Amino acid sequence: MTTATNRVKIFDTTLRDGEQSPGATMTHDEKLEIAELLDQMGVDIIEAGFPIASEGDFRAVSEIAQRSQNASICGLARANFKDIDRCAEAVRHAAKPRIHTFIGTSPLHRAIPNLTQDEMAQRIHETVTHARNLVDDVQWSPMDATRTEWDYLCRVIEIAIKAGATTINIPDTVGYTAPRESADLIRRLIETVPGADDVIFATHCHNDLGMATANALAAVEGGARQIECTINGLGERAGNTALEEVVMALKVRNDIMPYTTGIDTTKIMNISRRVASASGFSVQYNKAIVGKNAFAHESGIHQDGMLKNAETFEIMRPADVGLAGTSLPLGKHSGRAALRAKLNDLGYDVADNELMDIFVRFKELADRKKEVYDEDIVALAQAGAAPESNRLKVKFLRVICGTEAPQSADLILTVDGVDQQVTSQGDGPVDATFNAVKALFPHGARLQLYQVHAVTEGTDAQATVTVRLEEDGRVVTGQAADTDTVVASAKAYVGALNRLIVRREKSGKDTKEVSYKDTV
């Protein structure tokens, strides 16, 4: 069953393993939106979350399960009945529900619950059996499989198969293995373990040594027919296998890797941008497939070759991943119809009221910029997303900075509908602005991240600012774009505070996430 077909299933864990990146916590609505995009893109299995972790995670998994049109919806559960029961409850409304249960099998991980090999084997049998009694589709993972003794790994996989597991996932939890080892491990397990031909083997690779994509592809060569991955390679530490990389590698090099997926690759860029915006983790410029420079050519020799034949220096077309090859020139004379068409090309299907809001800001931007690029439109669309709370709003900001004058910010902040004004000083205009906001809206949140990047080139480029705040274990992210970096900073900071207000109001109900360390 594992090697008889060349169809490789794509298991996306952006909403579970990806969201475990420190500071990458997404809102409920963002999770639903990203799950819908994954479903539309053709992902086979969506790991929607860890239902036992919090009431918020449970609600997200449950609602995604109800909304899913095509994909199997999976929840994660540790090897105990409580986790598994909660997971089954969360995914029960899915057309194709899956429970993914796991336990650490390497010597290091066995020492954590202080279980002997026999005790762990018994727990695996009991918990996988319990999960299979609740759903027909059960995935089991021996966490840290690549550092588990060979004989014991074979033993527990056989137990899981006999207990009813339909997918056996082999996690390289700490990114320790190398491609040749990855292929050999899968191949040997399929050849050795009784019942292996009746299940699907999956691979779950982390990128600690920069080999996650290579290890995942090697595992497919060894017989794995499911790849676990995330959008943009999001994930703990150095991240996970990047969905866009393995999918495009299989598509572009189908001559040497004759495997197929069900992914609509033209949707890759759109979902990459949405995940980057929701998580607050910007995509590095030279990131494979989805980076800003992935289809950029500056060298004279490269440019000359591209003009004569694009295939000279491009092994895939920008359109293959949903990237417009050229920019539609939009300016201050462009109308709403042209803007809507461009938004649609970029993957944004906006309602009339959203279009009007974006159009107003587009006109303001066009009056300030000589040329409006695709990236500017994306920034406007993302900045226009409806905030979770409107209690705080930047109404006026003026800063004084330079080598002679003290750095100060004069701010009018609308708080619960009332305008309040203050002038504050700081170590630079951004620090002064943040001090002004804090003076008008006192809070104990700690600034975890302040990040600025130019959306396009030129001195009139929009700056996209990401601000991440943490308070009592709650992590929130705000993002804003403006041609004035300080204004964008203020809006991003206030946006994060608006999200924090919502978290405070719901604290104790469903949004203060519990801490959990167990993960594949």
Closest CA to 102 of 44, 165, 8: 165
- Rounded Cα gap, residues 132 and 263, in angstroms: 28
Contact by Cβ (8 Å): 40, 271: no
Closest CA to 223 of 256, 195, 196: 196
Q: Is residue 240 annotated as involved in ligand binding?
A: yes
The amino acid sitting at 69 is Q
Q: Is residue 125 annotated as involved in ligand binding?
A: no
Estimate to the nearest angstrom the gap between the alpha carbon of 514 and the chain centroid. 20
* Cβ partners under 8 Å of residue 183, min gap 6: 218, 219, 221, 222
Instruction: Give the count of beta carbons closer than 10 Å to the beta carbon of residue 350.
Output: 17
Helix 429-440 with 485-506: angle, nearest 10 deg: 30
Q: Which contacts qualify for 248-253: CB closer than 8 Å, 24 or more apart?
A: 248/289, 248/316, 248/320, 248/321, 249/213, 249/217, 250/8, 250/217, 250/220, 251/316, 251/320, 252/315, 252/316
Q: Which contacts qualify for 513-517: CB closer than 8 Å, 24 or more apart?
A: 513/25, 513/53, 513/54, 513/56, 513/57, 513/473, 513/474, 514/53, 514/54, 515/473, 516/50, 516/53
For residue 310, CA distances in Å to 248, 259, 315, 462 come to: 18, 26, 9, 29
Closest CA to 243 of 86, 7, 32, 43: 43
- Rounded Cα gap, residues 397 and 490, in angstroms: 8
Locate tokens 């480029």: which residue?
Answer: 461
Q: Is residue 410 annotated as involved in ligand binding?
A: no
Strand-pairing partners, residue 47, are 74
Closest CA to 139 of 175, 115, 163, 105: 163
3-state SS assignment for residue 332: coil
Q: Is residue 57 annotated as involved in ligand binding?
A: no
The amino acid sitting at 205 is C
Binding positions are 17, 204, 206, 240
Binding positions for Mn(2+) are 17, 204, 206, 240
